[in-house]
Amino acid sequence: MIGVARLIDRAARRVAIAGVNVLNKFTRLPLVGTYLNPLVARLEKGDRLYFDQAELIRVCSALNDAHLPFWVTGGWGLDVLVSCETRRHDDLDFALDRFGENLPAAAAVLTRLGYQRKEPLTGTMWFPDAEIYEDGHGHHIEVHSINWAALSTSEALLDPQQKTDSVSNNSPTWATPRLLEQCTTVGSLDGVPIPTLSVVAQRLFHQGYERRPKDWNAEDIMHMISMGDNAGINTLEAELPRSGRGNRTPSTLLLVPVLTLPSDLWRLCRLYHNDLSRMPPHITLAFPFLPRQSITPDVMRDLSNLVRETPAFDFELSQVRWFGTDVVYVEPSKSDTFRSIVETLQRMFPDFHPYDDAFESVIPHLCLSEHGTLSDRRALGRRAVEYLPAPARATHVWMMSNERHPGEWSIIKIFHLAPPSPVPPSNFNP
């Protein structure tokens, strides 16, 4: 019966999504869209279900304070490993050890935080049980059990160096010290320690499922973690056959991601021909930067030192501007700070020429759209004003590369800006 109910639920979701997609086309019409857009925005909840970093830290801090054995899984689990939000997440998944024993305490913590229990889901091979909790702000949490018995029999996949004869024949129902060492670790976000699954466990749990668009991001992050300090060594020859690249030279770029764009503005950007799943809203620092084969460990070290010496800073997305009629963008405050970083990059790397010297000066900007028709861009520019000004924060610099395909960019390195200097008390006398 549960399987039939899930089948009916999925079919209903597909019909609803198809209906919303049709209505979205009408929202772009000049007269009808003005009245139809608020309705469609309420129906299309996908862009509104944003489980932001602040809420994740709030939930995980409360679970930590309750001394509960849990580990963040899924997309947020990978982001905790690299200490950076790499895409917008619509939920939070975490695994709870000794599920039946610890679930009441975990439920009490979530209830105190304003969450309510919903209808539970059926589990998977790795996560047999799934409890659902939601609050009134669109935050969705899934609490899972871990199939430690299945993991125990899969130790050869977790550790290829492990000798078969040393694997225990007993199938534990909870985490053994060895499984904990292999499958779990502690990452952080904004300096807050957060328990999470290891990249080895994450890679195992991603096997055997149909790839979704957001799974490309997971594969990029897992590859970046596995490369570690070798991210500056060009591995293109080993990863992609020459026949798959033709004669092109893969390039790189540097940007400051802005994943906290207001949900309604995010939806509008996606509606007007932007693929935000592969390239999030951002402030470009260097495009094109250097050819991929020129990214050596020395280049990575110099970039890391530069970014580490630059304190994180807040800024504001304030006014809609245009580059001619081709690009509609939002101008950030503190443009001088962004411009200073670009100028430093030019001094450090003489082969870097912003936009191939097509412009006399670099104007920091967050591109809203350069796709579709001019009328589309004008409509986006008019409607974007409703959601500005919007606060933002520069905390990381991403290096991305188009190794796979000229228009397909993936993260190959994340650099962390320095924590901002503490503000001295008002009665401070140097």
Residues 66 and 35 in one domain: no
In a domain, 218, yes or no: no
In a domain, 318, yes or no: yes
What average pLDDT does the chain have? 83
Residues 242 and 373 in one domain: yes
Residues 201 and 258 in one domain: no
In a domain, 109, yes or no: yes
The confidence band for 189, taking pLDDT boundaries of 50, 70 and 90, is very high
What is the pLDDT, as a whole number, of residue 34?
Answer: 58
* Mean pLDDT value of segment 306-316: 96
In a domain, 392, yes or no: yes
The confidence band for 240, taking pLDDT boundaries of 50, 70 and 90, is very low
Short-list 94, 135, 131, CA closest to 112: 135
Residues 282 and 340 in one domain: yes
156 versus 205: the higher-pLDDT residue is 205
What is the pLDDT, as a whole number, of residue 246?
Answer: 58
Longest dimension (CA), the chain: 72
Among 23-27, 174-178, 224-228, name the one with the lowest average pLDDT: 23-27
pTM above 0.75, yes or no: yes
* Mean pLDDT value of segment 80-102: 95
Residues 249 and 347 in one domain: yes
195 versus 263: the higher-pLDDT residue is 195
Q: Domain with 77 in it: what CATH number? A: 3.30.460.40
- Total number of domains constituting the chain: 3
The strand order across the sheet containing 408-416 reads 390-394, 313-323, 327-332, 366-369, 282-286, 252-257, 396-405, 408-416
Helix (H) or strand (E) holding 295: none
Phi-psi region of 324 (alpha: psi -120 to 50; beta: other; left: phi over 0): left
Give me Rg for the CA atoms of the chain. Answer: 23
Residue-range definition of the domain harbouring residue 16: 2-43
145 versus 26: the higher-pLDDT residue is 145
Is the per-residue pLDDT at 138 higher than 90? no
In a domain, 227, yes or no: no
What are the backbone dihedrals phi and psi of residue 231, each rounded to the nearest 5 degrees, phi first?
A: -60, -25
Q: Are 78 and 202 in contact (CB under 8 A)?
A: yes
What are the backbone dihedrals phi and psi of residue 355, each rounded to the nearest 5 degrees, phi first?
A: 50, 35
Residues 37 and 64 in one domain: no
In a domain, 212, yes or no: no
Residues 109 and 238 in one domain: no
Is the per-residue pLDDT at 188 higher than 80? yes
In a domain, 341, yes or no: yes
| Predicted confidence (pLDDT) per residue in 255-310, tens digit | 999 999 998 899 888 888 777 877 899 999 999 999 999 999 999 999 999 999 99
Residues 29 and 67 in one domain: no
Residues 261 and 360 in one domain: yes
332/315 Cα distance (integer angstroms):
7
DSSP string of 345-375, one letter each residue: HHHH-TT--GGGG-SSS----EEEE--S-HH
16/23 Cα distance (integer angstroms):
11
Q: How many helices (H) and strands (E) does the chain have?
A: 16, 15
| Paired sense of beta strands 252-257 and 92-96, if any | unpaired
173/175 Cα distance (integer angstroms):
7
H helices of 89-168, in order, are 99-112, 148-153, 155-158
Q: Which two tokens stand for residue 67?
A: 């001394």
Is the per-residue pLDDT at 226 higher than 60? yes
Is the per-residue pLDDT at 21 higher than 60? no
Residues 39 and 57 in one domain: no
What's the gap between Cα 420 and its chain centre? 23
Q: Domain with 259 in it: what CATH number? A: 3.90.1140.10
In a domain, 424, yes or no: no
Residues 251 and 372 in one domain: yes
What is the pLDDT, as a whole number, of residue 332?
Answer: 97
What is the pLDDT, as a whole number, of residue 217?
Answer: 84
259/283 Cα distance (integer angstroms):
11
Residues 315 and 410 in one domain: yes
Q: Which residue has the tokens 């939000």?
A: 85
